[in-house]
């Protein structure tokens, strides 16, 4: 898991061969202008833009993915994200079609706010969309990069 400021994203282009492609899209400013929904960025990279109310921590779901890396960016609002290494969790069945596995386990909380990002690799369990205090609106981009 990586948590940093967007201006530092270029430091991580060596982590994955497609992160340079993502860095170029971020630098262009076109990602933040996208409407709600799924968008193809080319090279197998896609971004989902969503708007929602954050939820109380007791309503969150710890998850991980096998076929993609998540890059999560909050465009507006703030949310907490639970984080834990997948090995420390009990796992439900893997849903191949959705590339989704629910997990159960203790986790730490980090705050994602505008100007920052988090990268979740396949071994990184994460519980997004948690409220910082009371539930509040968030606009978020989740970039899916194929492993």
pLDDT over threshold 90, residue 123: yes
Distance CA 76, CA 60 (A): 20
| Residue 28, C-beta contacts closer than 8 angstroms, at least 6 positions apart | none
pLDDT over threshold 90, residue 57: no
pLDDT over threshold 90, residue 32: no
| Residue 33, C-beta contacts closer than 8 angstroms, at least 6 positions apart | none
DSSP state of 8: G
Residue with tokens 């978020």: 140
Confidence of residue 131 (pLDDT cuts 50, 70, 90): very high
Confidence of residue 97 (pLDDT cuts 50, 70, 90): very high
Instruction: Calculate mean pLDDT across residues 16-38.
Output: 94
pLDDT at site 49: 98
């Amino acid at each position: 898991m990586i948590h940093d400021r967007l201006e530092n994203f270029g430091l991580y282009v060596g982590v994955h061969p497609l992160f340079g492609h993502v860095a170029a899209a971020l630098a262009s400013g076109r990602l933040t202008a996208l409407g709600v929904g799924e968008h193809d960025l080319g090279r197998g990279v896609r971004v989902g833009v969503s708007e929602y109310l954050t939820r109380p921590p007791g309503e969150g779901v710890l998850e991980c993915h096998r076929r993609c890396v998540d890059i999560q960016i909050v465009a507006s609002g703030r949310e907490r994200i639970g984080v834990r290494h997948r090995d420390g969790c009990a796992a439900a069945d893997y849903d191949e079609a959705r590339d989704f596995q629910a997990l159960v386990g203790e986790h730490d909380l980090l705050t994602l706010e505008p100007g920052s990002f988090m990268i979740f690799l396949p071994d990184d369990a994460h519980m997004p969309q948690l409220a910082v205090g009371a539930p509040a609106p968030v606009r978020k981009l989740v970039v899916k990069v194929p492993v």
